[in-house]
């Protein structure tokens, strides 16, 4: 039997940077690429969902954290630091524990989901709530990493991008070639950068040719209240219910634009309402529970479809980046905002039958 060994061992030949590094892994990657029938029907294409919420800490960050932490271990680091809207901090904390390092995380006060906060604390990170937004947290983290003996494990660390590019490899390995279109949420823009790098490296036209005969269009989607790349300027006070992508000045801005332009793709914005509609569609129609930011990829696909711009029959992959249990409160409201309260019954089968509509 073949047991999945984590992205560094599975893709060692394509991760030269990691050569000779001790492997710090929680066996991340190898996530399902789920055929999405209802989604396909709605947009008239062949849609798959790459379910990154099934990584060890519940988000795609683990792909980049195994590589970043292994590189940190390689040069003898004892401590790591990151800025985070939540998922990076959860992942860094878990992998630092695995590596036997200490971990400090800087998060925007009051703006990270409870699940992520508790993960960072559970794994023993030192957590600072900064009176500012993610962009402020990243500025402070960068300064600390320059001045003190602590490794920065945000996606500005090239090892993060190396690990995250393996998601593209998995998509091509599963489908037998690259899809026509790849949809992603965009926050700090590291992930769209990494996917595009992965697709290029797996393409037969590249320096070390791989199994893909073509390249996908990269379609990135930002939240409307935090859409600097779409607007063409930084957003000072980014705001969205999708707290994971509440970012006003993405570190990999230029690389995201390059991914868009080189692939003939697009980067657009979607409203919180659209994000929540896609979130509900995934959970109620596809059986896939994601956190709101993750649903931006699907919300974006719906938007492009509504504009009549999804090529009929195209093969499309939507990455959903984080698990629904990270930030579960959004499922407990109707589309109009009213709270959903579970029906209460006495210990009685007849009452249950009536409540369930089996009997009147």
Interface residue list for ligand F0G (CB under 6 A): 59, 61, 84-88, 155, 185-191, 244-245, 291, 293-294, 321-322
| 213 secondary structure, DSSP code | S
Q: Are 217 and 158 in contact (CB under 8 A)?
A: no
CB atoms within 10 A of CB 209: 11
154 is in an annotated binding site: no
- Closer of 46 and 117 to ligand F0G (Cβ): 117
87 is in an annotated binding site: yes
- Closer of 179 and 248 to ligand F0G (Cβ): 248
Tokens 């529970």 belong to 289
- Closer of 46 and 81 to ligand F0G (Cβ): 81
Give Cα separations from 79 to 87, 125, 340 (angstroms): 18, 10, 44
Phi, psi of 53, rounded to the nearest 5 degrees: -65, -15
Please state the closest distance from residue 181 (CB atom) to ligand F0G, in A. Answer: 18
Q: Are 274 and 299 in contact (CB under 8 A)?
A: yes
Distance CA 182, CA 94 (A): 29
- Closer of 179 and 187 to ligand F0G (Cβ): 187
Please state the closest distance from residue 76 (CB atom) to ligand F0G, in A. Answer: 26
Please state the closest distance from residue 249 (CB atom) to ligand F0G, in A. Answer: 12
Give Cα separations from 215 to 12, 189, 266 (angstroms): 22, 19, 14
- Closer of 86 and 265 to ligand F0G (Cβ): 86
Going by C-alpha positions, the residue among 212, 189, 198 that lies closest to residue 162 is: 198
Tokens 């988000």 belong to 59
- Closer of 97 and 321 to ligand F0G (Cβ): 321
Distance CA 212, CA 351 (A): 58
Going by C-alpha positions, the residue among 89, 194, 99, 186 that lies closest to residue 141 is: 89
Q: Are 66 and 6 in contact (CB under 8 A)?
A: yes
- Closer of 46 and 323 to ligand F0G (Cβ): 323
Half-sphere exposure of 167 (CA within 13 A, CB side): 35
Please state the closest distance from residue 27 (CB atom) to ligand F0G, in A. Answer: 20
* Cα end-to-end distance, the chain, whole Å: 53
Q: Which residues lie closer than 8 Å to 286 by C-beta, 6 or more apart?
A: 34, 36, 37, 38, 39, 49
Residue 237 DSSP SS3:
coil
Please state the closest distance from residue 322 (CB atom) to ligand F0G, in A. Answer: 3
Please state the closest distance from residue 91 (CB atom) to ligand F0G, in A. Answer: 8
102 is in an annotated binding site: no
Please state the closest distance from residue 87 (CB atom) to ligand F0G, in A. Answer: 3
190 is in an annotated binding site: yes
Classify burial at 177, counting beta carbons within 10 Å of its beta carbon; exposed 0-12, middle 13-18, buried 19 or more.
middle
DSSP string over 215-250: -PEEEEEEEGGG-HHHHTS--SS---S-GGG--SS-
- Closer of 46 and 151 to ligand F0G (Cβ): 151
Please state the closest distance from residue 154 (CB atom) to ligand F0G, in A. Answer: 8
Binding-site annotation, residues for pyridoxal 5'-phosphate: 87, 187-191, 321
Binding-site annotation, residues: 87, 187-191, 321
């Amino acid at each position: 039997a073949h047991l999945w060994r984590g992205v560094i061992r599975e893709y060692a030949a394509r991760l030269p940077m990691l050569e000779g590094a001790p492997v710090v892994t929680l066996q991340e990657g190898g996530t399902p690429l789920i055929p999405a029938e209802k989604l396909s029907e709605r947009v008239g294409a062949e849609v798959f969902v790459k379910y990154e919420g099934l990584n060890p800490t519940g988000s795609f960050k683990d792909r980049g954290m195994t590589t970043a932490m292994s590189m940190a271990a390689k040069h003898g680091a004892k401590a790591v630091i990151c800025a985070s809207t939540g998922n990076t901090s959860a992942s860094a904390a878990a992998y630092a524990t695995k590596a036997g390092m200490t971990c400090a995380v800087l998060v925007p006060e009051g703006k990270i989901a409870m699940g992520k906060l508790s993960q960072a604390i559970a794994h023993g990170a030192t957590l600072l709530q900064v009176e500012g937004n993610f962009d402020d947290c990243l500025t402070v983290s960068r300064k600390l990493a320059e001045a003190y003996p602590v490794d920065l494990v945000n996606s500005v660390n090239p090892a993060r991008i190396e690990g995250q590019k393996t998601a593209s490899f998995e998509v091509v390995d599963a489908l037998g070639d690259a899809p026509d279109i790849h949809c992603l949420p965009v926050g700090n823009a590291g992930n769209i950068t990494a996917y595009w790098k992965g697709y290029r490296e797996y393409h037969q036209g590249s320096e070390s040719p791989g199994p893909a005969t073509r390249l996908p269009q990269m379609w990135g989607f930002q939240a409307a209240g935090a859409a600097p790349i779409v607007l063409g300027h930084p957003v000072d006070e980014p705001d969205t219910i999708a707290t994971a992508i509440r970012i006003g000045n993405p570190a990999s801005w230029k690389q995201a634009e390059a991914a868009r332009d080189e692939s003939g793709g697009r980067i657009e914005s979607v409203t919180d309402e659209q994000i929540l509609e896609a979130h509900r569609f995934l959970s109620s129609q596809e059986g896939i529970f994601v956190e709101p930011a993750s649903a931006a990829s699907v919300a974006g696909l719906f938007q492009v479809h509504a504009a009549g711009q999804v090529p009929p029959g195209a093969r499309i992959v939507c990455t959903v980046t984080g698990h629904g249990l990270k930030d579960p409160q959004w499922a407990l409201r109707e589309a109009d905002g009213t709270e959903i309260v579970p029906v209460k019954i006495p210990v009685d089968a007849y009452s249950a039958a009536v409540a369930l509509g089996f009997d009147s």
